[in-house]
Structure 1
Amino acid sequence: MFVPNGYQFESEAEKIAFMQRYSFATIITNNDQQIPLATQLPFVIDQHSGKLILSAHFSIANEQAKYIEQHTSLIIFTEPHAYISPTHYTKHESVPTWDYIAVHAYGKASLITDEALKLKALEQMINFYEKGYLAQWNSLTDTFKSRMIKGIVAFELEVTDLQGQKKLSQNKSQAERESIIAHLEKSNNTVEHDLAGYIQKTLNDKAK
């Protein structure tokens, strides 16, 4: 990832917190012909034994699942983002841009083939995304659960390289950024509200 000066994350912990907040990501893996395959998946992001582990699952029919153990995958986490109009800038000679935050995680995956471990991985995902559903899940028959598990390819990926960028108009003046924040906060798009909060944080951190 190309990261210009001033757009870096402050720490690995900040990158991980971002991934956990925006955990629906795109996983990209080359096949044996070096053609990239991509799938959008919800991930569970966990840390244990000093390792950063991403877990998810493909549909068993997804061709990409065949290659994730053989080749390094790239997982892209990329929310929030928004178009930024040059009307917020004081200089007439200005152009539009796009503000965004992105984290790129690299690593090779390991398939989870044991049925009990696949069940555990599914329950971890339920616990992360909708803990209230666990009671209903637990009431389902083992036959139904087994059928669901047979239809997926579950995996864990140990992150070996983690890169990130926060492009939040850091090269603009405080007044210009405040104008951008005010505009984004008026949007009907909640993602743009989130972006406004991140831009505001850059101003707050600068004031410290």
Structure 2
Amino acid sequence: MYIPKYYKVTDADEIWEFVQSNSFGTIVTVKQGRPIAAHLPLQLIKEGDTCYLTGHMAYGNPQWRTFADSDDVLVMFQGPHAYISSSWYEDENVPTWNYQAVHAYGQVSILSEEELKGDLAILLQKYEKHRKNPVLWDTLSPELVEQQLKGIVGFKIKVQEIQAANKLSQNRNERDYQNIIHKLYEERDFNSKQMARLMERKVKKGL
């Protein structure tokens, strides 16, 4: 991913916090010279200094069969994004787009059935534990579990390289920056308002 110096993120804790908060990712591999992708919920698992991304896809999805021949896979995560009009600047310039993105590269392998069960239990805990009637791993019937396991393939990616970009108008002066936030709040779409809130939080943290 091309990242100008203004927008490059190097803080590992910040990057992994972003991945945890925006964990619906896109995994890209190559089949017969052609890139293919799947959009999946993924989990970040840390084991000492090593980080893994884990997930599962349908058995009928042919992408998992490319894993054995893949030296590297690419996983992409995206956060809020919004159009930035240059009419919001003091000086003449061209429009642009603000966004957050993380690219992770690594080696992928298939999970054993026991590893997959453990990963699914963690996934359910993450998204169900706060609900009134949570659907957790130990509340599911063994018959349903065995039936569903036949239809999915679990995998884990050992992360070997990470690239992260926060393009949030850091190159603008303070007056432009504050005006961009104000104008984004006036936009009608949800993404623009999300970007405005994000830019405000970054100012409080010192960007």
TM-score of the alignment, normalized to the shorter chain, above 0.5: yes
Deviation, 1:135, is 4.6
Deviation, 1:202, is 4.0
Asked whether the equivalents of residues 120 and 137 of structure 2 are also in contact (C-alpha less than 8 Å), the reply is no
1:1-208 matches, cutoff 5 A: 1-31=1-31, 33-71=32-70, 72-91=72-91, 93-114=92-113, 116-131=114-129, 132=131, 134-135=134-135, 137-206=137-206
| 3-state SS, counterpart of residue 60 of structure 2 | coil
Asked whether the equivalents of residues 105 and 159 of structure 2 are also in contact (C-alpha less than 8 Å), the reply is yes
User: What letter matches 1:113 in structure 2?
Assistant: S
Q: Deviations over 1:122-157 (max 9, x none)?
A: 111111222246556533321111110110011111
Cα distance between partner residues in 1 of 2:21 and 2:67: 24
How many residues align? The count is 204
Give the direction of change, closer, same or farther, for the CA distance of 1:146–1:108 in structure 2 (3 Å limit): same
Give the direction of change, closer, same or farther, for the CA distance of 1:111–1:136 in structure 2 (3 Å limit): closer
User: What letter matches 2:42 in structure 1?
Assistant: F
Which has the larger displacement, 161-170 or 2-11? 2-11
| 3-state SS, counterpart of residue 9 of structure 1 | coil
Asked whether the equivalents of residues 60 and 153 of structure 1 are also in contact (C-alpha less than 8 Å), the reply is yes
Deviation, 1:205, is 4.5
Cα distance between partner residues in 2 of 1:193 and 1:47: 33
Asked whether the equivalents of residues 28 and 74 of structure 2 are also in contact (C-alpha less than 8 Å), the reply is yes
Identity percentage over the alignment? Answer: 31
Moved over 6 A (4+): none
Cα distance between partner residues in 1 of 2:67 and 2:195: 32
Cα distance between partner residues in 1 of 2:136 and 2:19: 27
Cα distance between partner residues in 2 of 1:49 and 1:123: 21
| 3-state SS, counterpart of residue 25 of structure 2 | strand
Give the direction of change, closer, same or farther, for the CA distance of 1:130–1:186 in structure 2 (3 Å limit): farther
| 3-state SS, counterpart of residue 3 of structure 1 | coil
Give the direction of change, closer, same or farther, for the CA distance of 1:135–1:30 in structure 2 (3 Å limit): closer
| 3-state SS, counterpart of residue 40 of structure 1 | strand
Give the direction of change, closer, same or farther, for the CA distance of 1:136–1:160 in structure 2 (3 Å limit): closer
Asked whether the equivalents of residues 102 and 162 of structure 2 are also in contact (C-alpha less than 8 Å), the reply is yes
Structure 1: runs of 5+ lacking an equivalent: none
User: What letter matches 1:47 in structure 2?
Assistant: K
